[in-house]
């Protein structure tokens, strides 16, 4: 670390920058600091190389390359972006945790991120170890030491498994439902997750998302969550979750159909476990073949609404149901809402 700082000071002197000017114009990003050093060393051809090679990923690539070199953006702490840009704030929050780990080691990092002092409103850092065990989570210490498979969302959603599956060395966004510890409400959480040294560092920001008072938007959000889970964990884990009773919320449940050469088989349905693994005629009381409408949904369309008469799972009466359906390969994901109920 000292060698890096001395080298930077040397570069500043070589460039003829005074001490006060250096503090005023000190680089605030890895890319800027790298360019200053390359210029001072006479490697002008390397100035801007991260932007040219990596484009929007320049900062992440630079930090990844220089994590072991002790880059700290000069002698002052890294400044977080404004919370008015929650995505940027979240990414910087995670990068600061990784910097702490690189400089102070794992135990000191865990001690800090398991303490209330590390929590900033809805923002906090969670950490999984090399075995995908949650080892850092200040707001909810009761879930620390749980394996990712046991870190579940409010409805039993396999949040932990999705998080560790989506984390990459360059960082990735992953979204799921989680309790906002600042408000106590279940909301959509968008987390930035980075796998570094075998560990997963993450933090997230929340948004309310559609409510049941907006049934169409709520149905689409539930389908998107199912599609995202499938992209993260694959078919088996996704079907296993959506066949559990806790995945259903009254009339709100995800159904999944598998298209086998034009014949639709139910493969997930928490409301009707008796039909899972079977095919059946899907024609409503008015003679509408909604099965054909499901099968006609294409991946290219991005999804389609299918409206039909269907038995309400609570009243056991036929009601007009509007289902949002999305195809992913041979699978069709759907969630519907009922009129007048």
- DSSP-assigned letters across all residues of 1-67: -HHHHHHHHHHHHHTT--HHHHHHS---SHHHHHHHHHHHTT-GGGTTHHHHHHGGGHHHHHHHHHG
Placement of tokens 């404004």 in the chain: 82
Calpha distance 90→83 (Å, rounded): 8
pTM above 0.95, yes or no: no
DSSP assignment, residue 294? H
**Residue 17 scores a pLDDT above 50:** no
Q: What average pLDDT does the segment 9-28 reach?
A: 46
How many angstroms separate the CA atoms of 36 and 48, rounded? 10
Alpha-carbon gap, residue 93 to 87, rounded angstroms: 10
For 146-177, give one letter per residue: b (16+ CB within 10 A) or e: bebeebbbeeebbbbbbbbbbbeeebbebbbb
Whether residue 1 is predicted with pLDDT greater than 50 in this model: the reply is no
4 pLDDT higher than 80: no
For 157-197, the pLDDT digits (tens) are 999 999 999 999 999 999 999 999 888 889 999 999 999 99
Q: Six-digit token pair at 146?
A: 């749980």
Q: Percent of the chain at pLDDT above 70?
A: 87
26 compared with 335, residue with greater pLDDT: 335
88-101 pLDDT, tens per residue?
Answer: 999 999 999 999 99
Angle at alpha carbon of residue 101, lines to 95 and 106, rounded to 5°: 145
Report pLDDT for 15: 46
Contact (CB, 8 A) for 1 and 72:
yes
The per-residue pLDDT of the chain, averaged, comes to 87
> 148, 133 in Cβ contact below 8 A?
yes
Tens-digit pLDDT profile for residues 21-74: 443 345 657 888 888 777 777 777 888 888 888 887 887 778 767 655 545 544
* CA 210 and chain centroid, separation: 18
d(CA 36, CA 30): 10
pLDDT in tens, 100-133: 999 899 999 999 999 999 999 999 999 999 999 9
């Amino acid at each position: 670390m000292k060698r890096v700082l001395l080298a930077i000071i040397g570069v500043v002197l070589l460039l003829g920058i005074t001490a006060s000017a250096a503090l005023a114009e000190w680089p605030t990003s890895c890319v800027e600091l790298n360019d200053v050093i390359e210029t001072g060393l006479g490697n002008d051809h390397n100035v801007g190389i991260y932007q040219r090679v990596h484009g929007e990923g320049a900062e992440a690539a630079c930090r990844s390359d220089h994590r072991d070199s002790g880059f700290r953006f000069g002698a002052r702490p890294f400044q977080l972006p404004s919370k008015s840009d929650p995505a940027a704030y979240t990414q910087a929050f995670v990068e600061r945790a990784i910097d702490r780990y690189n400089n102070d080691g794992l135990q000191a990092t865990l001690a800090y991120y398991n303490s209330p002092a590390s929590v900033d409103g809805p923002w906090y850092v969670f950490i999984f170890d090399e075995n995908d065990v949650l080892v850092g989570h200040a707001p909810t210490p009761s879930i620390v030491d749980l394996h990712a498979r046991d870190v579940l969302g409010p409805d039993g959603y396999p949040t932990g498994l999705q998080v560790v599956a989506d984390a990459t060395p360059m960082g990735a966004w992953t979204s799921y439902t989680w309790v906002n510890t600042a408000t106590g409400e279940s909301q959509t959480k968008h987390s930035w997750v980075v796998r570094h040294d075998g560990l997963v560092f993450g933090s997230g920001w929340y948004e309310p998302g559609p409510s049941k008072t907006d049934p169409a938007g709520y149905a689409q959000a539930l389908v998107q969550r199912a599609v995202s889970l499938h992209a993260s964990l694959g078919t088996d884990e996704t079907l296993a979750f959506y066949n559990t009773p806790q995945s259903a919320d009254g009339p709100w449940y995800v159904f999944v159909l598998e298209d086998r050469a034009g014949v639709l088989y139910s493969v997930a349905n928490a409301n009707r476990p008796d039909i899972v693994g079977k095919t059946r005629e899907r024609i409503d009381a008015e003679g509408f073949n909604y099965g054909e409408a499901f099968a006609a949904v294409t991946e290219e369309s991005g999804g389609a609404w299918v409206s039909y008469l269907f038995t309400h799972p609570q009243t056991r009466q036929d009601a007009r149901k509007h289902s949002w359906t999305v195809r992913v390969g041979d699978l069709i994901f759907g969630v519907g809402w009922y009129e007048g109920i």
